[in-house]
Structure 1
């Protein structure tokens, strides 16, 4: 039987990213005030909530990295640590693009740490990742296959209806693309266009010669859901034809378990080598005000089983086994955290 992971693994951390390395779990996610990047570390997933949280970077006072710091991800590439994140300028400063505002004006940025310990080491800004054109861009993730690094991210194309599509490119180095961006999918199915036309939050699982590229779609309330693209690891990953998109979502709300809007996932593994699906979810449906400032998206994790043919059995979000905030709470964007 797959092991049961006590949930939530971390309270009030949306967009969770977990990396297991040398017997330790490294965790990051969106800080509710969207003003910093934090890391924590523990030997067990269930110990992450109690682990000290370390701030490794804070937003700038002005400029393109001064507002709404979203969805950091930690990666290990060629012996160094990297964090990809999205940031926007202050609301009174916008990029010169059509229909820009402070909520949909992000770009992708990269931090590097060359020290062994990312919690105590020095983090250096490598700047904006040039994705090929200027528009709303976010949720970069990375994977290495046969020694080649790839970046996958969400970005708006003004010629395509919606806020973001998914793109892939090969990397020259962890902060520079080596190839032009290739669009892998766009929001098109009914479940991808509830509230917003969105494909975002990609994450890549490599297993048994297959790649599973998960992503999240629709607005970030209870309608949020996960989809998947599948490709052979031996295929040309920069060819959209190499990827097969599921027309149906693979991970959705489970009202019977009190879990709503699961998404923006990452993958890690258990100490015994089982694949673990990490995601955020809400525990109630009545949101007050802007969902952006509702902090109760809890970071959860559960073992992802595979069938006899090697296909993932996505299942449904499991009920929580630990206490979590259940009342309606709204964080004002002025920095007052209750």
Structure 2
């Protein structure tokens, strides 16, 4: 999630999602995603889509991003053809009789035969945003009824929180999120807490990371947010976004732990001192961040999805478009995300498409 610090004005966009951070935002240039042949595609996948998330179940990919006023799922069999996928608004707080605003960074999961969505919203109380949980027992998350399960927070530590994501390790589930140390601060840190069920935290929250390095403290406030889990071999990676989204220098950082370590112990995690994915002005990628991960349909390739602005100075608004690219692995087992590829470049479709 990006830490917006603005009250957003929701408007309709002809193509899809809506979220505008300031009145003078100019429309992002959109490179049509129609491939020149059956084996390639071009970024961006959509003209807008801050905080993109992808979850795969069976042969279907479910895509979500920040819209501001509702929660929408876009469904597709091929990530390279996301633009033609069916988009469904699955929940709005007004329909549920719940008073919330500024819905950000939804993430979809399938746990124990049910679907869950974790999202951030301001419930008009308690000094701002919290992470909230929805549940759906239908086989298809774009159908059936989504039930609001409430705010998810550590006991006695219900402080400002956004960008909830779930880690499964050693037979347990954990929520990881971006939050404030105390109510009076604006600095964002990464926290973890064990889950007793998909909507309840037990025990304390533990801090895993705070903005330490100069590349994490560009803009105001200092930010660690958008945590996402990536597993490979005997390692668990926590990839997060750092610096403020209002800057071109929003970038990805990384923590690494053993796949069998206790993730509640800060000593289990090692922080990479340099960013692992940064802006590329020559390729129209400013402020790349708030990513997700997925595999190709045949399971042979690893892909990252992220948002970036096509022009400098566009900040936290709806100019941020979702982009995907394949990444590789270094000899030491760490991911190599490379650099953001240029808009409009023909890329080979994910294997199996």
TM-score (normalizing by structure 2): 0.81
| 1:19 equivalent in structure 2 | 55
Matches within 5 A, 1:1-338: 6-31=42-67, 34-60=68-94, 65-89=99-123, 93-95=124-126, 100=127, 105-132=128-155, 133-158=157-182, 162-195=186-219, 196-221=221-246, 222-273=248-299, 274-287=301-314, 291-292=315-316, 294-321=317-344
CA distance in 2 between partners of 1:80 and 1:114 (Å):
5
For 1:152, what is the secondary structure of its paired residue? strand
Deviations 1:246-288 (A, max 9, x none): 111111101121211000111111113211111110100133x
CA distance in 1, matches of 2:223, 2:333: 29
Q: How many residues align?
A: 304
Contact 1:4 1:303 (8 Å CA) reproduced? no
**1:132-179 CA deviation, whole Å, 9 max, x = no partner?**
323210000013224321111111012896421101122100010133
**Contact kept? 1:16, 1:265, Cα under 8 Å:** yes
The alpha carbon displacement at 1:193 in A equals 1.1
SS of 1:140's partner is: strand
Task: Provide the rounded CA distance (Å) in 1 between the counterparts of 2:118 and 2:91.
Answer: 12
> Over aligned residues, Cα RMSD in angstroms?
2.1
> Residue 263 of structure 1 aligns to a residue in which SS?
strand
- Asked if 1 retains the 8 angstrom alpha-carbon contact of 2:160 and 2:183, the reply is no
Kept after mapping to 1: 8 A contact 2:159/2:183: no
After TM superposition, which residue ranges in structure 1, 4 or more long, deviate above 6 angstroms? 61-64
Tell whether the 8 Å contact from 1:64 to 1:87 is kept in structure 2 after alignment. no
Paired residue secondary structure (2:54): strand
Unaligned runs of 5+ in 2: 1-38, 347-353
CA offsets per residue over residues 168-213 of structure 1, 9 Å max, x none? 1221000101331111001121111111211100000111010010
- Aligned-partner Cα distance in 2 for 1:125–1:16: 22
Confirm or deny: 8 A CA contact 1:257 1:317 kept in the other structure: yes
Shift, 1:301, TM fit: 1.0
CA–CA distance in structure 2, aligned partners of residues 265 and 242 of structure 1: 23
Change (3 A) 1:58 1:238: same
Name the SS for the 1:49 alignment partner.
Answer: helix
CA separation of 1:4 and 1:188: change in aligned 2, threshold 3 A: farther
Partner Cα separation in structure 1 for residue 222 and residue 129 of structure 2 = 17
- Structure 1 window deviating more from structure 2 (153-162 vs 6-15): it is 153-162
Taking structure 1 as the reference length, what is the TM-score of the superposition?
0.85
Going from structure 1 to structure 2, the CA distance change for 1:283 and 1:159 (only over 3 Å counts) comes to: same
Q: Secondary structure at the match of 2:215?
A: helix
SS at match of 1:180: strand
Please tell me whether the aligned partners of residues 154 and 203 of structure 2 are also in contact (alpha carbons under 8 angstroms). no
Q: Secondary structure at the match of 1:304?
A: strand
1: CA distance, partners of 2:186 / 2:274: 19
